[in-house]
Chain A
Amino acid sequence: MRNQFSRIFLILAAVVVSLVFLYPTFQDYQFRKKLASLSGQDSITYAEQNQDAILSAKLKRIKLGLDLQGGMRVVLEVDVIQLLESLAKNQDDNFHAIIKEIRSQATTNDESVIPMFGKKFAERGIRMSRYYGNIRDADNAILTQLDGETAKAIDRAIEIVRNRVDQYRVSEPNIQKQGSRRIIVDLPGVKDEREVSSLLQGTAMLEFRLLREATVSYRVMQSIDDFLAGKVVGDTASAAKTGQKAEESKDALQDLLGNNKPSSTDTSKESKFIHEHPFFSNVSPDQRNSGEAYVLDRNRDRVIQLLSRSDVQRLLPADFEFLWSAKTAQNPDGKKFYTLFAVKKQAELTGKVIVDARASVNPEDNRPIVNMEMNSEGSRDWARITGANINKRIAIVLDNAVFSAPTVINKITGGRSQITNMESPNEAKLMEIVLKAGALPAPVSIIEQRSVGPSLGEDSIRSGLTATGISVILTILFMIVYYHTAGATADIALVFNLLFILGILAGFSATLTLSGIAGILITIGVAVDANVLINERVREELAGGKTLSAAIDAGYRRAWTAIIDAHVTSFLTGLVLYQFGTGSVQGFALTLMIGIAASLFSSVVITRVLINIMMSRGINPNFG
């Protein structure tokens, strides 16, 4: 009996865990339905009021694969030949000839580029140190070095891509390194592939820009705020004057105030503030007078919109630009926010002068730092710039995003600088990559690109769900008709099985693809098989003359070996598929494996528990 209790407990625990994992998906669905049913302004207000809940549901829901959501997947690979070309110095005709040969051979030959490269030099009897490294380096050493450079290039490329994709504001992008040379970029919902491919290629631009003085920065922000508030007042006034329809003026205000527009009957202090300060209600200037301002993640798009207005642009003085921080930080409430910097439009220095950057640790206080080295031309300029701007801040900007804005402590001659005040070794490592990204090339080529339009995605969801629904219903009916009560318990187990599969997917934040749905369908078949094995066996034992309870015992016991073997082999197949497949095949393998594991539990344990419960209450389950 104790066995039974622990089994029941296990089942209930599994159910509860699955439901907990699945709840965000359910919530997300509810929210979307609600938002779709509300019209215009009401839906926006609703979204605003429940913003945090909606966001958290969105983060934890089951993600839909690109083939169900629509979007693009791009696989980038380091363009090794271009990298080799841009790393070489003293390029002469011989060098160019070699590069040309390699390039034409690389498309047909599959041999790795770098060894091939080395061979070409050996064939011609030219030492590689003429173009790479130090004069005394042996060819082999240089080849190893070049290998290392390729590996580092991919890290730079990933950071650059991540930075750009972030700025492009794709929802739930996924950027992953594959192997040592490839990047997989998943962009759900993205439709314009042309824009995106330019986003993912092209050299990165690193700049050093001086921050504008705090007083200037705040003055500009104030003027924007006044201007927009005036527009609010002006527009309302002019609307009243010209008798403009209430709706239209509402829309204009909507543009200005965004979701923060309170209802006209809300007279609280907060709504008054929002009304009077359309800019500052989204942008909080730093109280420590650094000139920075902070914008919550959810308000960023609106601020971008406000700042891009041509009438707002006219308020900005010459040589003044607002740039965003590349990454978010967290405020004490746990909310993510971006920093807005006021910088000079003109860059003091570009990243091309950087020769090396290295993350390291300050021996004196063990805190992470980054050591930066510039070439002779850069060193001269850098000495001048730092000398003239002591105690001012210089922003390190990659592709128009600010990664850091350290303060100049003293004049730096000799081109060696140290960036301190990093929060963590990771931040220092990131800074190293960023500094190098502007200086060193990380050329990538697109080797695979797939995009699925949203309508095909919707079709796929619909047909996938329909197929699953029909299959489940037919299976349930069949089991009841053929195996009676035993069939009904198998059906209940099947439903639990599906619940567990979805719960595990949600728990791992895995992605459901169309192939994944196919995997679920196969799992239904395999799960049913286990029960068929058991039920057939029980029937045999009954026919052999055993009592019901003995037959059930024997049936479960004897069927077990076959069930295990069958499930294990299917699981192993799924494992191989997961290992060797990509994209949609992996999605299939994943749900297959999860389903088989869950089926082992539900088909055997759950049905047994149900049958035992029935028997203990004196109900005799019918095996048909």
Chain B
Amino acid sequence: MRVFKKTNINFMAIRGKMYFVSSTIIILGLISLFVKGVNYGIDFRGGTELVLSFSAAPDFGKLRSALAAAGLGDSEIKSFGNDQTILIRTTKQEEGMTVANNIKTAIQKDLSDLKFQVLREDKIGPKIGKELRQDAVYAVIATLAIILSYIAIRYKYIYGVGAVLSLYHDVLLTLGIISILDGVFPALNLEITQEIIAALLTLVGLSVNDTVVVFDRIRENSKIYRSMSLMDVMNKSLNDTLSRTIITSGTILMVLLVLLFVGGEVTRGFAFTLTIGIITGTYSSIYIASAIVLDNNLRKKITA
């Protein structure tokens, strides 16, 4: 079965416009990041987080006043998957599980007509939160450095730069979209937790997959079609690998969508992040990674 006839799309021709599109979305994302920020889970901020499953959907107002009476009025209250399951989060720090117990007692007292079950109960001390943040940053830097080195070794240095810039693009874009969409859909909790960082790094890995396949083809075609301009070689390579790119991204996307819809609340943020990431990753392999290499070459030819 074939879906893709032999294509001959001139991808590189419109790269200027695509630079523009990318920049716009990234800038929007950055604005959102600065203005609205992202929602940090307690992994990075420290605090206590409870997930309670109630016998019937509780009234948020009553929950809030119950917590306020316990001195925890500024806690976050969200639904977790369905409206009978509630997530309560506060950054208040106290010894052991005192905060968690206070929350439970307060709710039992004020919402005495509802029974609840504790699905999850987490407490992160302040030091760990800071460490996790640091580790996350190191992990991101390490990944980008490793990938830069690997690609620079296997291909040329500029390809490494192109790849890494496309990864930056992916991560920024995804973070921006997360920031914009957080809280927009009631069922979608997009907090930055350790799992989200793992998702970002995974998408880096998958995006590089894509990029590498294109680069590999460019390398091969450059050797075969020596007289072709770099732009034509790139276009040909992109067209050659187009069906593979679409199918692979499609397969992974399908798996992610299954996880997103069937996988339950716990993995939802992770699945969503990766879904966005795959889409941007595919796009960036074409329009950022390759385009940057091309433009770099063109510029060099002009100045050199």
Q: Is the CB–CB distance between A582 and B132 below 8 Å? A: yes
A540 to B242, CA, bound (A): 12
Tell me which residues across on chain A come within 8 A of B247, comparing CB atoms: 482, 532, 536
Q: Mark B24-53, 1 if CB is under 8 A from A, else 0.
A: 000000000000000000000000000101
Q: Mark B133-148, 1 if CB is under 8 A from A, else 0.
A: 0011011001100110
Within 8 A of A (CB), among B188-225: 194-195, 197-198, 201-202, 204-206, 208-209, 212-213, 216-217, 220
Q: Does A423 contact B (CB under 8 A)?
A: no
A62 nearest CB across to chain B (Å): 19
Of A156-164, A383-391, A434-442, A446-454, the segment with at least 4 beta carbons within 8 Å of chain B is A446-454
Q: Does A133 contact B (CB under 8 A)?
A: no
Q: Does B266 contact A (CB under 8 A)?
A: yes
Q: Mark B105-121, 1 if CB is under 8 A from A, else 0.
A: 00000000000011111
Tell me which residues across on chain A come within 8 A of B197, comparing CB atoms: 581, 585
Q: Does A460 contact B (CB under 8 A)?
A: yes
Tell me which residues across on chain A come within 8 A of B1, comparing CB atoms: 481-484, 624
Q: Does B252 contact A (CB under 8 A)?
A: yes
Tell me which residues across on chain B come within 8 A of A525, comparing CB atoms: 206, 248, 251-252, 255
Q: Is the CB–CB distance between A573 and B122 below 8 Å? A: no
Known A-B contacts A463-B262, A467-B258; A576 and B126 likewise in contact (beta carbons under 8 Å): no
Q: Is the CB–CB distance between B198 and A585 below 8 Å? A: yes
Q: Is the CB–CB distance between B146 and A562 below 8 Å? A: no
A271 to B151, CA, bound (A): 72
A488 nearest CB across to chain B (Å): 13
Q: Does B232 contact A (CB under 8 A)?
A: no
A466 to B261, CA, bound (A): 11
Tell me which residues across on chain B come within 8 A of A467, comparing CB atoms: 258-259, 262-263
Known A-B contacts A451-B121, A453-B117, A514-B266; A570 and B128 likewise in contact (beta carbons under 8 Å): no
Tell me which residues across on chain B come within 8 A of A308, comparing CB atoms: none
Tell me which residues across on chain A come within 8 A of B53, comparing CB atoms: 455
Q: Is the CB–CB distance between B258 and A566 below 8 Å? A: no
Tell me which residues across on chain B come within 8 A of A565, comparing CB atoms: 150-151, 154, 212-213, 216
Chain B residue with Cβ nearest A459:
B264
B123 CB contact (under 8 Å) in A448, A576, A624: A448
Tell me which residues across on chain B come within 8 A of A59, comparing CB atoms: none
Known A-B contacts A193-B97, A525-B251; A569 and B150 likewise in contact (beta carbons under 8 Å): yes
Tell me which residues across on chain B come within 8 A of A470, comparing CB atoms: 258, 262
Q: Does B65 contact A (CB under 8 A)?
A: no
A449 CB contact (under 8 Å) in B2, B96, B220, B248: B96
Tell me which residues across on chain B come within 8 A of A447, comparing CB atoms: 124-125, 127-128
Q: Does A577 contact B (CB under 8 A)?
A: yes
Q: Is the CB–CB distance between B118 and A453 below 8 Å? A: yes
Chain B residue with Cβ nearest A451:
B121
Q: Does B240 contact A (CB under 8 A)?
A: yes
Of listed B197, B198, B274, residue having the most chain A CB within 10 A = B198
Q: Is the CB–CB distance between A573 and B143 below 8 Å? A: yes
Residues of B within 8 Å of A, CB-based: how many?
A: 71
Known A-B contacts A467-B263, A518-B270, A581-B135; A569 and B125 likewise in contact (beta carbons under 8 Å): no
Of listed B2, B130, B262, residue having the most chain A CB within 10 A = B262
Q: Is the CB–CB distance between A456 and B120 below 8 Å? A: yes
A533 to B121, CA, bound (A): 45
Q: Mark B243-262, 1 if CB is under 8 A from A, else 0.
A: 11001100110111011001
Chain A residue with Cβ nearest B154:
A565
Q: Does A150 contact B (CB under 8 A)?
A: no
A195 nearest CB across to chain B (Å): 12
A588 to B193, CA, bound (A): 14
B55 nearest CB across to chain A (Å): 13
A62 to B255, CA, bound (A): 24
Within 8 A of B (CB), among A502-526: 514-515, 518, 521-522, 524-526
Q: Does A75 contact B (CB under 8 A)?
A: yes
Tell me which residues across on chain A come within 8 A of B120, comparing CB atoms: 450-453, 456
Q: Is the CB–CB distance between B194 and A584 below 8 Å? A: yes
Q: Does A471 contact B (CB under 8 A)?
A: yes
A522 CB contact (under 8 Å) in B125, B139, B154, B202: B202
Tell me which residues across on chain A come within 8 A of B117, comparing CB atoms: 453, 455
B243 nearest CB across to chain A (Å): 6
Tell me which residues across on chain A come within 8 A of B132, comparing CB atoms: 582
Chain A residue with Cβ nearest B3:
A482
Q: Is the CB–CB distance between B198 and A515 below 8 Å? A: yes
Q: Is the CB–CB distance between A449 and B123 below 8 Å? A: yes
A110 to B131, CA, bound (A): 10
A386 nearest CB across to chain B (Å): 42
Q: Does A592 contact B (CB under 8 A)?
A: yes
A250 nearest CB across to chain B (Å): 34
Tell me which residues across on chain B come within 8 A of A573, comparing CB atoms: 143, 146-147, 201-202, 204-205, 208
Tell me which residues across on chain B come within 8 A of A37, comparing CB atoms: none
Q: Is the CB–CB distance between A576 and B143 below 8 Å? A: yes
Q: Mark B57-78, 1 if CB is under 8 A from A, else 0.
A: 0000000000000000000000
Tell me which residues across on chain A come within 8 A of B10, comparing CB atoms: none
B264 nearest CB across to chain A (Å): 4
Known A-B contacts A451-B122, A460-B264, A474-B258; A532 and B251 likewise in contact (beta carbons under 8 Å): yes
Known A-B contacts A521-B255, A525-B251; A110 and B130 likewise in contact (beta carbons under 8 Å): yes
Q: Does B296 contact A (CB under 8 A)?
A: no
Known A-B contacts A110-B130, A450-B123, A463-B262; A536 and B243 likewise in contact (beta carbons under 8 Å): yes
Q: Is the CB–CB distance between A452 and B119 below 8 Å? A: yes
Q: Does A561 contact B (CB under 8 A)?
A: yes
Q: Is the CB–CB distance between A464 and B263 below 8 Å? A: yes
A525 to B1, CA, bound (A): 20
Q: Does B297 contact A (CB under 8 A)?
A: no
Tell me which residues across on chain A come within 8 A of B220, comparing CB atoms: 558
Within 8 A of B (CB), among A43-98: 67, 75, 77
Q: Is the CB–CB distance between A478 and B251 below 8 Å? A: yes
A580 to B200, CA, bound (A): 14
Tell me which residues across on chain A come within 8 A of B139, comparing CB atoms: 576-577, 579-581
Starting from the known contacts A532-B247, A569-B205, 5 additional A-B residue pairs (CB-CB under 8 Å) come to: A445-B95, A453-B117, A455-B119, A574-B205, A577-B139
- The list of the 7 closest CB pairs from A to B, nearest first, reads A573-B205, A463-B264, A525-B252, A447-B125, A580-B139, A566-B209, A456-B119
Q: Can you sample 5 A-B contacts with CB below 8 Å? A: A453-B119, A475-B251, A536-B243, A584-B194, A585-B194
